[in-house]
Amino acid sequence: MNLGNRIRVIRQSRRLTQQQLADQAGVSRQTISIIEGGSMVPSVLVALQLSRVLKCSVEEIFSLEEQDTPVWAEVPKVTCPLPVSLAKLDGILWAWPLADEGPVQAADAIWYPDGGFVRLRERSPAQTLVLLGCHPGINLLEGYLQRRGDPIKSIIRVRNSLRAAEGLLEHKAHAAGVHLYDTLSRSYNFTIAKETFKVEGGMLIHFARWEEGLCFRPENHIEGMSDPAFRTMRLVGREEGSEAHNLLNRHLAAVDRNRVNTVQLVARSHAQVAKVVQDGLGDAGVTVRYEAEVRGLGFLPLAEESFDLMVPARFFKTPPVQALLEVLADEHFRAEMNMLRSDAGRSGEVLWSTG
The answer on pLDDT for 337 being more than 80 is yes
Burial of 261 (0-12, 13-18, 19+ CB in 10 A): middle
pLDDT value at position 267? Answer: 94
Residue 25 to residue 7: CA distance in whole angstroms: 12
CA angle 288, 159, 200 (to 5 degrees): 120
pLDDT value at position 165? Answer: 95
Residue length, the chain? Answer: 355
Where is the domain boundary, 31, 48, 65? 65
Burial of 265 (0-12, 13-18, 19+ CB in 10 A): middle
Helix (H) or strand (E) segment spanning residue 251? helix 243-252
pLDDT value at position 293? Answer: 96
Question: Do 54 and 185 share a structural domain?
Answer: no
The amino acid occupying position 344 is A
Asked whether residue 253 is assigned to any structural domain, the reply reads yes
Q: What is the DSSP letter of 132?
A: E
Q: At what angle do helices 18-25 and 44-54 cross, to 10 degrees?
A: 120
The answer on pLDDT for 67 being more than 90 is no
What distance separates the 2 farthest-apart alpha carbons in the chain? 73
Mean local confidence (pLDDT), 309-330: 96
Question: Do 161 and 50 share a structural domain?
Answer: no
**61-64 CB contacts, 8 Å cutoff, 24+ apart:** 61/5, 61/6, 61/7, 61/10, 62/3, 62/4, 62/5, 62/6, 63/3, 63/4, 63/5, 63/6, 64/1, 64/2, 64/3, 64/4
Render pLDDT for 31-66 as a digit per residue (tens, 0 to 9). 888 888 776 788 888 999 999 999 989 988 887 765
Asked whether residue 259 is assigned to any structural domain, the reply reads yes
Asked whether residue 322 is assigned to any structural domain, the reply reads yes
Where is the domain boundary, 49, 65, 81? 65
The answer on pLDDT for 175 being more than 90 is yes
Question: Do 231 and 135 share a structural domain?
Answer: yes
Q: Which residues pair with 75 in a beta bridge?
A: none
The amino acid occupying position 67 is Q
Q: Are 110 and 84 in contact (CB under 8 A)?
A: yes
**Domain interval for residue 194:** 125-355
Residue 270 to residue 252: CA distance in whole angstroms: 19
The answer on pLDDT for 219 being more than 60 is yes
Burial of 254 (0-12, 13-18, 19+ CB in 10 A): exposed
Asked whether residue 340 is assigned to any structural domain, the reply reads yes
Question: Do 14 and 139 share a structural domain?
Answer: no
Number of domains in the chain: 2
Residue 246 to residue 181: CA distance in whole angstroms: 8
Q: Are 95 and 117 in contact (CB under 8 A)?
A: yes
Q: What is the average pLDDT value for the chain, to the nearest integer?
A: 89
Burial of 31 (0-12, 13-18, 19+ CB in 10 A): middle
Asked whether residue 99 is assigned to any structural domain, the reply reads no
Where is the domain boundary, 37, 65, 93? 65
Structure confidence at residue 261 as a pLDDT band (50, 70, 90): low
Render pLDDT for 268-305 as a digit per residue (tens, 0 to 9). 999 999 999 999 999 999 999 999 999 999 999 999 99
Report the percentage of the chain scoring pLDDT > 70. Answer: 94
Q: Are 292 and 222 in contact (CB under 8 A)?
A: no
Render pLDDT for 103-155 as a digit per residue (tens, 0 to 9). 567 888 888 887 788 888 767 888 999 999 999 999 999 899 988 877 899 99
Residue 5 to residue 75: CA distance in whole angstroms: 21
The answer on pLDDT for 257 being more than 60 is no
Residue 324 to residue 141: CA distance in whole angstroms: 8
Asked whether residue 88 is assigned to any structural domain, the reply reads no
Burial of 58 (0-12, 13-18, 19+ CB in 10 A): middle
The amino acid occupying position 238 is R
Render pLDDT for 191-204 as a digit per residue (tens, 0 to 9). 999 999 988 899 99
Asked whether residue 227 is assigned to any structural domain, the reply reads yes
